[in-house]
Structure 1
Amino acid sequence: MRNAIDVGNGLIITTDNSGGIGEKPGDLVAVPDRLTAFFAARVALLEQWAAHAEPISILLHNFSGSTSWEKYVEGIHDLFTEAGLQTPPISGSSETNMTLLQSAMAVTIIGRTIEQPIGEEVQWFTYGTPLVGNEVLDRADEVASLRVLKEAMEIGLIQQLWPVGSRGILEEVRTMTSNETAKVESGLDITKTAGPSTVVLLAIPTTKREEAKTFFGTLLRELNIYI
């Protein structure tokens, strides 16, 4: 399991945060609050899927002021709509006593584990492209689609999913395999940050490899891992 906490009774907790990104004058990256929440929720949702769990509740932590709350909620709704899922209940709180110079927020998802796929021989692939900052918007067609991933899981094309974060593909592989010297071969930049998990690692059953290539298209690339 990646950045997820198993609290028992089949419950999984995942979270992602964002700072200095939003609508305040002091923010380092100027984007709508709605979009900030979308990408924070995206990472937390992918972490749920990596843990073979489905969301049942969401906690929103808002440090940007009361006017940002509804925008953040709308961004979370946008994310679940894109994924083809109903948005779980959203609760949380806003910091209204102190006015910060920069935006800050976090999304925590509570999920429940689902039945895991039957273990098969797999081949690893990447789906999407490592992107960060304005690249995420300028090259949106290269971002791993949540709806496509959800459909692929439902039809059994994915044995395991592993989101790539700020450390890049190589470091994620080393974490996933618990091997600090693991090496990889990929047509992508394996050290570049993937921002809000714009690329994910996929373990695809070898018997469904060709079907997966057709299903995912050109954003699916082979990933060779050497332990």
Structure 2
Amino acid sequence: MRDVLCVPLDEENELVLATDCSGGIGLKQDDVVNVPYDVVGYYGARVAWMELMSIGATPKAFVLQNFVNDHAWHALVAGVQQTMKELQLSLPITGSSESNMPLMQSAVGFVAVGTVRKEEKRINITPTDACWAVIGEPLVGEAVIQKKDRIIPLSLFRTLLQLDGVYEIIPVGSKGIWHEWKLVHGERPLRCSLPLHASAGPATCVLISYDRAQQHFLQSLAGPLFYDFSRERGCPKSQCN
């Protein structure tokens, strides 16, 4: 089960909604992680876009729910716009700001809106002989800021979406790699050098399935961010074992 809502529009198309939220991250005194609001907007929007686009949906618009204050709106929007720039999108943004009740901590909600043709939806389409890997590393909180070089870039994510031989891309969230793996494979064992139960925060890594013929190309494309754990399926030597 993926973190998206698909609503039928007609016999061939579905409306797709993908969401994320952020709490305790911003510039308020009681925030747990202190970063500017454009950074908050960037990473929150990043998750929603990745969830939406990973199933093959075409982005149409973005909704921003700002519980910080009116003054944070423009910075949050700037962060959302940066994600769209990196994904080569130009789409409308709407939303609202809580201006009546002051909160002690920052809070923001993000919704990406799109459409997908039912026959092109990339959910549960991986062949049984496919290889699996993680690209990026699970990071959360301050580590997201301190280890940016270990996060899958949106530019790479966009490239993966367009590659023949990449079947599914599953953004990893706060429940970690093992949670996403289990949704696909049940309790099938998985051994990996990455921390399998660690939160991946704002989708700092993705789980992908792919044709083994693409192994070396994917490794060269992702470099040290590529962690393959498909050795038992006959794929080349992996970093996860």
- The answer to whether 1:107 aligns with 2:134 is no
Confirm or deny that 1:194 pairs with 2:200: yes
Give the equivalent residue in structure 2 for 1:122: 130
SS in 1 for 2:164: coil
Task: Tell me if structure 2 keeps the 8 A contact 1:12–1:51.
Answer: no
From 220, 223, 226, give the equivalent of 1:220: 226
Give the 3 Å change call, closer, same or farther, for CA 219–21 of structure 1 in structure 2: same
Q: Residue 91 of structure 1 aligns to a residue in which SS?
A: strand
Consecutive unaligned residues in structure 1, runs of 5 or more: none
CA distance in 2, matches of 1:60, 1:225: 42
Unaligned runs of 5+ in 2: 233-241
| Mapped pair 1:93 → 2:96 | yes
Distance 1:29 1:109, change over 3 A: same
Which amino acid in the other structure matches residue 214 of structure 2? K
Provide the TM-score with structure 2 as the length reference. Answer: 0.87
Structure 1 position 3 matched with structure 2 position 6: no
Q: Given the alignment of the two structures, is residue 49 of structure 1 paired with residue 33 of structure 2, yes or no?
A: no
Whether 2:158 is the aligned partner of 1:155: answer no
Residue in structure 2 matching 1:136, options 134, 144, 166: 144
CA distance in 2, matches of 1:12, 1:153: 17
State the Cα distance separating 1:112 from its structure 2 match: 1.3
Query: Partner of 1:183: helix, strand, or coil?
Result: coil
| TM-score, with length taken from structure 1 | 0.92
Whether 1:39 aligns to 2:47 is no
Contact 1:61–1:105 at 8 Å: present in 2 too? yes
Give runs of ≥4 in structure 1 deviating > 6 Å.
Answer: none
Quote how far apart the aligned CAs of 1:13 are. Answer: 0.4
What RMSD over aligned residues (CA atoms) do the two structures have, in Å? 1.8
Q: How far off its partner does 1:53 sit? A: 1.0
Contact 2:64 2:95 in 1 (8 A): yes
Please give the residue correspondences for 1:59-78 in structure 2 after superposition, counting only pairs within 5 Å.
Answer: 59-78=63-82
Q: Quote the residue 1:170 is aligned against.
A: 178
